[in-house]
Chain A
């Protein structure tokens, strides 16, 4: 079972920041928080991951609370092409560990 809880859907105005929350209260010390997204009819796409420090890359920022029980994915300037289902996943760092997908958050970016 997925170890994360996310809101089922969110809307965001184009050009504004999209803040997607995720609860993972049972995360263990050696587990990372990963974010993937799935645009309609495509395979999931890796976005970002982190352990305890905040992370930023060209796609997004990841803010992890100090107790690591929750996190927020931030898309700083959402575009229509960011409309997708966003999955927050907790897993060990080993690439050999499969991903356990929850239901994710369906983000709709609105013009």
Chain B
């Protein structure tokens, strides 16, 4: 499987600011996904990102709040905009293997909003 990494691994931010999370895969992948894991909860899909097209957002998530870029087949970013304490979560990216159909996850970005 390809190596998937995220930056930053964690951050503490002030309310009202924005944070961009980077996700890098060391080989080309078609589909990438962004998930959120709120404290003590399971993972929830935010959006699916295809290279060269707009991301597809799940119910309850909007592009203005969570803009996503997918400039090439190895990279994606998720921005958490105008943050509030309720945005404190772990944000995880994942990619889908075209061969094995499995999904592989990054290590996550732990965000705390004060």
- A-contact bits for B21-55, CB 8 A (1 contact / 0 none): 00000000011010000000011110010000000
User: What's the dominant secondary structure at chain B's contact region?
Assistant: strand
Contact A95 B103 (CB under 8 A): yes
- Please indicate the chain B residues that have their CB under 8 angstroms from the CB of A94 in the complex: 101
**Bound-complex Cα distance A96 to B30 (A):** 8
Q: Which of B42, B48, B98, B107 contacts A98 (CB 8 A)?
A: B48
Q: Which residues of A contact B43 (CB under 8 A)?
A: 44, 99, 101
Kindly provide the distance from the CB of B22 to the nearest chain A CB, expressed in whole angstroms. 15
> Is the C-beta of A102 less than 8 angstroms from some C-beta in chain B?
yes
8 Å CB interface, A16-57 against B: 34, 41-46, 49
Contact with B along A81-111 (1 / 0, CB 8 A): 0000001000001111011111110000000
A55–chain B nearest beta-carbon distance, Å: 13
Establish whether residues A101 and B107, one from each chain, have CB atoms under 8 Å apart when the complex forms: no
Most A CB contacts (10 A, CB to CB) among B100, B102, B108 go to: B102
Sort A-B residue pairs by CB-CB distance and give the 8 closest, nearest first.
A43-B105, A95-B96, A95-B101, A101-B43, A101-B42, A46-B102, A98-B45, A96-B31
Q: How many interface residues does B have (CB within 8 Å)?
A: 23
Q: Please give the number of chain A residues whose Cβ is less than 8 angstroms from any Cβ of chain B in the complex.
A: 20
B21 to chain A, nearest CB (A): 13
Which B residues are closer than 8 A to A by beta carbons? 30-31, 33, 42-45, 48, 92, 94, 96-98, 100-108, 110
Q: Are A100 and B105 in contact (CB under 8 A)?
A: no
Q: Is the CB of A96 within 8 A of B105?
A: no
Is B94 in contact with A93, judged by CB distance below 8 angstroms?
no
Across the interface, A43 reaches (CB within 8 A) one of B44, B100, B106, namely B106
Q: List chain A residues, Cβ under 8 A from B45.
A: 98-100
Within 8 A of B (CB), among A54-94: 87, 93-94
For B104, the chain A residues whose CB sits under 8 A away are 46
B108 touches A95 (CB 8 A): no
